[in-house]
Structure 1
Amino acid sequence: MMTKNAISKSSQESKRPMEVAILAISQATPSTVYGMNDLLCSVGRDWPFVTRGELGPSLIKPSIVSLTGQPINSVNHGYIHPHRKLADDYHPDAVCVLEVFVDPKVKPSQLTEDFKGELQWLRNYWKKGGTIAAACTGSLLLAAAGLLEDQEATTHWAYCEFFQNNYPKIQLSPNRALVTSGEGQRLIMAGGGTSWMDLGLYLISRFVGVEEAIRTAKVQIIEWHEHGQQPYVYLNRARQSEDAVIGDSQVWLAQNYEHTAPVTEAVKRSGLTERTFKRRFKLATGMSPIEYVLTLRIEEAKQMLETSTLPVEAIANEVGYQDASFFGRKFNKMVGITPAQYRKKFAMLRKHLK
């Protein structure tokens, strides 16, 4: 039979706040590190404070950690002061790896060299059964640590090509707002930018409860990115070709994409056979000519939806589609929401920011 003191001790331990480590590195952005720290600190504490004027018990204890534990002069000229350093015997309930400010063309070998200590600690922590959550480009470190091979993952849309070129065995789902994978679903990833808030809400829901996550979202006024990253993606990322003929065709297509059959006309202008033109275009830009034209049309449509009051049917016609329904389906497939939803989302934002 348990004694009174043992029962009291057991009760205290059962109410121990879960500890979430937030990894700080010199390439981290201070706003995400401290933002996640503030978000997690508020769980259980702030809801009763704003509704009843009483501070509640903190249900999560965030700890900012770094390899050495020393202050970090990070990007954007901000200083990060870790609470502690990483150690072999340190085993928090979960670890957050947030935005890493690196060149989208960085070599994997450079990541491995720059974050050698952090990557080794993450590997060891994972082997011991730890849960690792990444937001935005934090997933690059998970990939560099070898934790994402044959696993579903997501990252910032601008780094998808990096993943595809360097980690082909990773099952990338860039349009998902949140992905969980790995043994026991212990790998958790959110997309780009402010998706670290989505990640924070998911961690609260998973480890504390859905009700607390909803309360936190209400207090912090956080809106879930239900449509993922697609509405924010800049589609026309094809590089300008060093192939002079194809480069000229890119310029011409950018000025004439609204034509009925722009690819056919571009082929004629090039003096190449259709097969050769398509092969060289794909080799030079990474896209087929028709994919290139589609991205040009969709990007122009997005701009018009944001800045004009033209009906969707008129915009469809302006960018080369006589059938507005067909245009709507193409737009929805590439952007993830309908033209009307896109206009509501971004035209309103543009209006308020003027």
Structure 2
Amino acid sequence: MNETVSVEALIVAVPETAGSALYGMIDVLSSAGSLWQQLAGAEPQRQTIHVRIVSPSKAPFTCGHRIPVQPDLSIEDDPRADIVILPELWLAPDDDMAGRYPSLLAWVRERYRDGSTIYSACSGSVMLAATGLLDNRDATSHWGYADLFRTRFPQVRFRPEPALVFADPAGRIVTAGGTTSWHDLALHIIARHMSPGEALRIAKVYLLKWHSEGQLPYAALVRAQPHADSVVRTCEQWLAEHYRDADAVAKAVTIAGIPERSVKRRFKAATGTTLIGYVQNLRVEEAKRRLETEDVPFETIAADLGYENLPFFRKLFKRSTGLTPGQYRKMFRPFVSAAEPALPSP
């Protein structure tokens, strides 16, 4: 009789860990090779993924939203595994985890040097960035952490667009994007360490899907940036009300009361985007809102936002969201329809 072969996986848990991602990944990965087979009446696979929780100590604790965690192993045990996973953390958008868990970070670095494949999901990449393993490499995370990576981890080539990013050609470091992109990560792990067919079967069992559209459709293009530049703040506040104006950039420069070159330089330094890019983001956000909530043609929306050149605004919209206006409306309009009360039957 053939024996079962297990791929050993360690998933890191700390008090900041999001319980949904922690236990969701444990459930999905642990089900590979057996759950579909049970439901379909087929023979179990010979290969499985054996998942255990590792923490700074073996003492039980609660993670995000008071969800209990009982670690299987401590880093003091120096456990080894084929796979190490850093799941989502409950972190503020400016929290870089400075000074926290130095022994755990050192253990992750040691596991990478020892040959483990390192995976992170969502804000778990913040912890991974703190190890230094992402330096001078491509990485992703939830789009809400783009500014944190820009300011605290400038050596990391942050890519907010994809759902999965491979940091190296061998794929030994893989980061996943926002929140439920752990679904993509779990399916990738199963496909890679077991088989693509098993990943497809697990996707069918759990109704999981690849987020092939990436993160751009979900990202907020305009976010409040914590900075102390009063001139830039004045421009932001004025543009929030007047971004539809055809000469919005020129007027904002005038209101700033300093030379145009200085305004543009300070705006980019404070917000991470150019002045014209900021105005365009405000306009695309307005177009997104109207596509989500109104049935008016995109041509009308573009005209209301001051764009006479419709092809240009279509290209800008797709570059900013990753989708055409029609695709965007199709993706997000159902959420509004689902929230509307059903009409009474006649």
With normalisation by structure 1, the TM-score equals 0.89
Q: How far has the Cα of 1:284 moved from its partner?
A: 4.3
**Corresponding residue SS for 1:313:** helix
| One-letter amino acid of the counterpart of residue 41, structure 2 | R
Task: Tell me the residue number matched to 1:30.
Answer: 19
Q: How far has the Cα of 1:198 moved from its partner?
A: 0.4
Task: Tell me the residue number matched to 1:156.
Answer: 142
Query: What do you get for the CA RMSD once the two structures are aligned?
Result: 2.1
Specify which of 77, 85, 93 is matched with residue 96 of structure 1: 85
Q: How far has the Cα of 1:38 moved from its partner?
A: 0.5
Residue by residue over 1:153-175, the C-alpha shift from the partner in whole angstroms, topping out at 9 and shown as x without a partner, is 11111112211222222222221
Specify which of 298, 316, 321 is matched with residue 330 of structure 1: 316
Q: What is the alpha-carbon distance in structure 2 between the residues aligned to residue 16 and residue 87 of structure 1?
A: 26
Q: Is the 8 Å Cα contact of residues 99 and 138 (structure 1) preserved in structure 2? A: yes
| Cα separation, partners in 2 of 1:46 and 1:120, compared to 1, 3 Å | same
Specify which of 176, 186, 202 is matched with residue 190 of structure 1: 176
Q: Is the 8 Å Cα contact of residues 82 and 115 (structure 2) preserved in structure 1? A: no
Where do residues 1-354 of structure 1 align in structure 2 (5 Å cutoff)?
Answer: 11-12=2-3, 15-52=4-41, 59-107=48-96, 111-182=97-168, 184-239=170-225, 242-354=228-340
Q: What is the alpha-carbon distance in structure 1 between the residues aligned to residue 78 and residue 228 of structure 2?
A: 53
| One-letter amino acid of the counterpart of residue 209, structure 1 | S
Q: What is the alpha-carbon distance in structure 1 between the residues aligned to residue 117 and residue 224 of structure 2?
A: 36
**Corresponding residue SS for 1:96:** strand
| Structure 2 gap segments, 5+ residues each | 341-346
Q: Is the 8 Å Cα contact of residues 47 and 194 (structure 2) preserved in structure 1? A: no
**Corresponding residue SS for 2:186:** helix
Q: What is the alpha-carbon distance in structure 2 between the residues aligned to residue 140 and residue 192 of structure 1?
A: 12
| Cα separation, partners in 2 of 1:283 and 1:119, compared to 1, 3 Å | closer
Q: How far has the Cα of 1:231 moved from its partner?
A: 0.8
Q: What is the alpha-carbon distance in structure 2 between the residues aligned to residue 247 and residue 89 of structure 1?
A: 49
Q: What is the alpha-carbon distance in structure 2 between the residues aligned to residue 116 and residue 242 of structure 1?
A: 31
Q: How far has the Cα of 1:269 moved from its partner?
A: 4.0
Q: What is the alpha-carbon distance in structure 2 between the residues aligned to residue 240 and residue 40 of structure 1?
A: 39
With normalisation by structure 2, the TM-score equals 0.91
Task: Tell me the residue number matched to 2:343.
Answer: none
Q: How far has the Cα of 1:127 moved from its partner?
A: 1.2
| Cα separation, partners in 2 of 1:319 and 1:240, compared to 1, 3 Å | farther
Q: Is the 8 Å Cα contact of residues 238 and 286 (structure 1) preserved in structure 2? A: no
Q: How far has the Cα of 1:291 moved from its partner?
A: 1.2
Q: What is the alpha-carbon distance in structure 1 between the residues aligned to residue 262 and residue 163 of structure 2?
A: 39
Q: What is the alpha-carbon distance in structure 2 between the residues aligned to residue 242 and residue 285 of structure 1?
A: 11
| Cα separation, partners in 2 of 1:115 and 1:243, compared to 1, 3 Å | closer
Residue by residue over 1:54-110, the C-alpha shift from the partner in whole angstroms, topping out at 9 and shown as x without a partner, is 766671111122121221211212111222323454211101100122222225xxx
| One-letter amino acid of the counterpart of residue 101, structure 1 | W
Q: What is the alpha-carbon distance in structure 1 between the residues aligned to residue 81 and residue 226 of structure 2?
A: 47
Q: Is the 8 Å Cα contact of residues 257 and 320 (structure 1) preserved in structure 2? A: no
| Cα separation, partners in 2 of 1:179 and 1:250, compared to 1, 3 Å | closer
Task: Tell me the residue number matched to 1:3.
Answer: none
| Cα separation, partners in 2 of 1:23 and 1:323, compared to 1, 3 Å | same
- Bigger shift: residues 211-220 or 240-249: 240-249
Q: What is the alpha-carbon distance in structure 2 between the residues aligned to residue 285 and residue 166 of structure 1?
A: 14
Q: Is the 8 Å Cα contact of residues 73 and 79 (structure 2) preserved in structure 1? A: no
Q: How far has the Cα of 1:295 moved from its partner?
A: 1.0
Q: What is the alpha-carbon distance in structure 2 between the residues aligned to residue 247 and residue 152 of structure 1?
A: 31
| Cα separation, partners in 2 of 1:245 and 1:132, compared to 1, 3 Å | closer
| One-letter amino acid of the counterpart of residue 117, structure 1 | S
| One-letter amino acid of the counterpart of residue 237, structure 1 | R
How many residues of Structure 1 are paired with residues of Structure 2 in the alignment? 340
Q: How far has the Cα of 1:238 moved from its partner?
A: 4.5
| Cα separation, partners in 2 of 1:240 and 1:87, compared to 1, 3 Å | closer
